[in-house]
């Protein structure tokens, strides 16, 4: 069974990005190393602060759209339900240090 993830990334200023993927570890690695040009690489969104999973891609996409439509205050409340200190939830995922370009 395949797993799909809705996740939020942030940077040092607290800017938020919400995305969906079927491989969270790979996708976060891409964000951290700016392997895909776009919003997250431009604004240095390299810290994973929230994720949830489902086995239904339709549900994952609907949830991503729902979260994206929320005001920032509601997104922050969601993050803080599982990660009140906004720790990087991916900090111990990689055996080799991830090179971050600040």
Question: In the block, which residue shows the tokens 């005001």?
Answer: 71
Report the distance separating Cα 11 and Cα 33, nearest Å: 13
Instruction: Name beta bridge partners: 48.
Output: 9
> Is residue 102 predicted with pLDDT exceeding 50?
no
Count CB neighbours of 5 within 10 A.
20
Q: Which strand (E) or helix (H) includes residue 5?
A: strand 4-10
Residue 7, classed as helix, strand or coil, is: strand
Domains of the chain, first to last: 4-82 (3.40.1440.10)
Report the distance separating Cα 31 and Cα 28, nearest Å: 5
What digits encode the pLDDT tens for the residues 28-80?
999 999 998 999 999 999 999 999 999 999 999 999 999 999 999 999 999 99
> Is residue 18 predicted with pLDDT exceeding 80?
yes
Question: In this predicted structure, what is the pLDDT of residue 97?
Answer: 54
């Amino acid at each position: 069974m395949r797993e799909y993830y809705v996740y939020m990334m942030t940077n040092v200023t607290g800017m938020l990005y919400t995305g969906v993927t079927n491989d969270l570890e790979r996708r976060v690695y891409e964000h951290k190393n700016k392997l895909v040009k776009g919003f997250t690489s431009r604004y240095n969104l390299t810290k994973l602060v929230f994720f949830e999973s489902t086995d239904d891609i339709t549900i994952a996409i609907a949830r991503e759209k729902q979260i994206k439509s929320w005001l920032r205050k509601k997104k922050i409340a969601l993050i803080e339900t599982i990660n009140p200190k906004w720790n990087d939830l991916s900090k111990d995922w990689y055996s080799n240090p991830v090179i971050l370009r600040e």
